[in-house]
Amino acid sequence: MLERKDKKYDESTLNAYLYKAVQYKCLDIIRHQTIKNQYASAAGKKLLQMETDYFYTSRNEIEEGLLSKELQEQINAAIEMLPPKGKEVFKLYFEHRKTAKEIASIMNLSQSTIENHIYICVKSLRKKMAKYI
């Protein structure tokens, strides 16, 4: 039996204390290692993304802006080539964010007719814009 001035400890109590102390220290080490791994993984992903952005970006911002403007002009031209009702439905649906039901009530058409117009317009635009996609 071990003694201190104020308390007495027997061997089983001391063993239990040491066992728990070692157990908690091991858990602390495991938690710390997990956090280090998560940080290393996040830092690695960020570094890889930065490397990809730097080395594999083939265009600068000005060129990208011009291409974006050109693409938008091509999209607008393709929309203008749609049939009049299709163009109106398309603009209400995609630009004004109206639902097919709302467009149907505005244009006095059935909801399924509006949905067909949307489908046909999107299909037509995909075909016309295939080289850009």
Please give the structure tokens belonging to residue 93: 């649906």
Helix (H, G, I), strand (E, B) or coil at 14: helix
Report the alpha-carbon distance of residue 38 to residue 18 in Å, rounded: 30
Report the alpha-carbon distance of residue 47 to residue 14 in Å, rounded: 49
| pTM (2 d.p.) | 0.49
In this predicted model, what pLDDT tens digit does every residue of 76-102 receive, in sequence order? 888 899 999 999 998 899 889 899 999
Give which of 110, 74, 105 is closest to 92, Cα–Cα.
105
Residue 105 has pLDDT above 90, yes or no: yes
Percentage helix, strand, coil for the chain under 3-state DSSP, each rounded to 5:
75, 5, 20
Fold of 61-128: Arc Repressor Mutant, subunit A (1.10.10)
